[in-house]
Amino acid sequence: MKHKEISLIAENDTIIALAGNPNTGKSTLFNMLTGLRQHTGNWPGKTVFQAKGSFIYKGKKYVLVDLPGTYSLLASSVEEKIARDFICFGRPDATVVVLDATCLERNLNLALQVMEISERIIVCINLIDEARRKHLDVDTGKLSETLGMPVVATAARNGEGLAELLKVISEVVAGNCRPKPKTVRYSPEIEKAVAKLKPKIKNLLGDQVNPRWIALRLLEGDTSIEPYIKKIMKNKVRKAKLREVLA
């Protein structure tokens, strides 16, 4: 089901993924941006498979993919696997991580994990109106600086901040704004192991995936990425053979 949907996206479309915890108003944001009317219920897990829609901004078409809401990307559930696989191997042009402003600590966990996979990320602090109602003040400037990412505060329900979000998305896609994610530093022993594996992975797989992220997954014994890795390897081997034949 899922792969069929991905393949429906044309080669040259600009793809934006929407990731986020459950109940962050992700689907509401999706509806506001695409004009589609996906039903948004208030219970965890209702976007079971991704919805897809499109919008036009300054004459350019963007395809928006609403990923299932997850707490993490460690692939311990179907939703997590779908979301992770799309961000990592579906290679969207940008990923918008939607965070609940009223529950930032929990939500940042996911943002930090997405940042490990990809660089082209926009952090969207949604439900900022709820946060204000609860007297929570979020310092988006400081957050942006700490994460090394563009951060936009929105209240998707009433359209607040959406213009800014669209502008930032287009800038990231066009390369005018290059996020420099400040990723999580692990214990020295893990970092040492990652440093050791990274060049080997880069050598094997090329630039298609983030070698640091692959190294971390392999170190923690996550085998669910195996088919993808093999596929990338296969393509590389095939290309190498082709080059041999041509030479």
Closest CB 45 distance from other proteins, rounded Å: 4
The CA dihedral of 213, 215, 217, 222, to the nearest 10 degrees, is: 150
Provide, rounded to whole angstroms, the least separation between the CB of residue 193 and other proteins.
5
Comparing CB distances to other proteins, the nearer of 24 and 170 is: 24
CA 146, CA 140: separation in Å to the nearest integer?
Answer: 10
Tokens representing 39 are 């039903």
Q: What is the 3-state secondary structure (H, E, C) of 191-237?
A: HHHHHHHHHHHHHHHCCCCCHHHHHHHHHCCCHHHHHHHHHHHHHHH
- Angle at alpha carbon of residue 218, lines to 212 and 220, rounded to 5°: 105
Query: In 10 A of CB 225, how many CB atoms?
Result: 19
Residue whose CB is less far from other proteins, 174 or 186: 186
Q: Is 192 in the site for other proteins (CB under 8 A)?
A: yes
* Of 12-20, 51-59, 163-171, 185-193: span binding other proteins (CB under 8 A): 185-193
d(CA 231, CA 46): 31
Q: Select from 190, 206, 208, 224 the one that contacts other proteins (CB under 8 A).
A: 190
Asked if 224 touches other proteins (CB under 8 A), the answer is no
Interface of this chain with other proteins, residues 34 to 63, rule: CB under 8 A: 37, 39-46, 48-49
Backbone angles phi, psi at 150, to 5 degrees: -70, 135
Give all strands (DSSP E) within 70-132, no chain letters: 94-100, 121-126
Residue 65: strand pairing partners: 17, 52
Q: Does 71 bind other proteins (CB under 8 A)?
A: yes
Identify the residue among 11, 189, 207, 244 touching other proteins (CB under 8 A): 189
Q: What's the closest the beta carbon of residue 140 comes to other proteins, in angstroms? A: 8
Q: Which of 6, 57, 72, 162 binds other proteins (CB under 8 A)?
A: 72
What is the distance between the alpha carbons of residues 222 and 245, in angstroms, rounded to a whole number? 36
Tell me which of 146, 159, 163, 174 binds other proteins, using CB under 8 A. 146
Shortest Cβ distance from residue 218 to other proteins (Å)? Answer: 5
Tell me whether residue 79 is exposed, middle or buried, using C-beta atoms within 10 angstroms of its C-beta: 0 to 12, 13 to 18, 19 or more: buried
Residues found near other proteins in the complex (CB under 8 A):
22-23, 37, 39-46, 48-49, 71-72, 74, 76-78, 80, 102-106, 108-109, 111-113, 130, 133-140, 142-143, 146-147, 157, 184-187, 189-190, 192-193, 196-197, 200-201, 204, 216, 218-221, 226, 229-230, 233-234, 237
